[in-house]
């Protein structure tokens, strides 16, 4: 029996298997919203939250590059104003999402409302309600030099 006949062949290509841009953008934003939820839970408890990311580090003695886990602080997307009201903004990369003309922030009131608000936004992202807003922010990425 031929080896090729024993294999299951497919017409799938790498380009077909990579997710659509909207799906990738949603996944990126959902990952960051989940980190914000964990950071908010820690802040309510009076604790600190950081996640582990992997970076390549060059050893000074040997010059060898190795992959190492590094603790990364999560920058909070929420803040408290002078009237003790909490607000939050949603960021895609370093850009704030503009929900309406000139409206970047969401008023949540008390600190206990931060997590439910993030969860509502996560549902909106999963349902594709923010796809147009994310696409508008994502198109201003780094320019590719030819």
Query: If we measure between CA atoms, which residue out of 111, 117, 120 comes closest to residue 45?
Result: 111
78 neighbors 108 (Cβ within 8 angstroms): yes
86 neighbors 78 (Cβ within 8 angstroms): yes
Flag whether 118 is in a domain: yes
Q: Give me the number of domains the chain comprises.
A: 1
Flag whether 124 is in a domain: yes
Instruction: List 67's β-bridge partners, or say none.
Output: 56
Flag whether 84 is in a domain: yes
Flag whether 56 is in a domain: no
Flag whether 1 is in a domain: no
Q: With bands split at pLDDT 50, 70 and 90, how would you rate the model's confidence at 22? A: confident
Query: 94-130, pLDDT tens digit by residue?
Result: 899 999 999 999 999 999 999 999 999 999 999 999 9
List C-alpha distances in Å: 117 to 66, 109, 121: 39, 10, 6
Flag whether 68 is in a domain: no
Evaluate if pTM is beyond 0.85: no
The whole domain housing 125 covers 21-49+75-138
Flag whether 39 is in a domain: yes
50 membership: H or E segment, kind and range = strand 50-58
Query: 39-97, pLDDT tens digit by residue?
Result: 999 999 999 999 999 999 898 888 899 999 989 999 999 999 999 999 999 999 889 99
């Amino acid at each position: 029996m031929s080896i090729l006949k024993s294999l299951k062949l497919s017409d799938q290509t790498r380009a077909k298997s990579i997710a659509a841009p909207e799906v990738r953008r949603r996944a990126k934003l959902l990952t960051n919203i989940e980190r914000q939820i964990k950071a908010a839970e820690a802040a309510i408890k009076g604790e600190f939250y950081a996640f582990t990311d992997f970076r390549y580090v060059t050893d000074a003695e040997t010059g060898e590059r190795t992959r190492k886990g590094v603790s990364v602080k999560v920058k909070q997307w929420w803040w408290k104003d002078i009237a003790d009201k909490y607000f939050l903004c949603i960021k895609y990369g370093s850009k704030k999402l503009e929900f309406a003309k000139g409206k970047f922030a969401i008023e949540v009131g008390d600190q206990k409302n931060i997590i439910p608000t993030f969860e509502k936004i996560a549902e909106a992202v999963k349902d594709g309600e923010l796809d147009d807003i994310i696409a508008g922010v994502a198109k201003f990425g780094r320019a590719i030099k030819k």
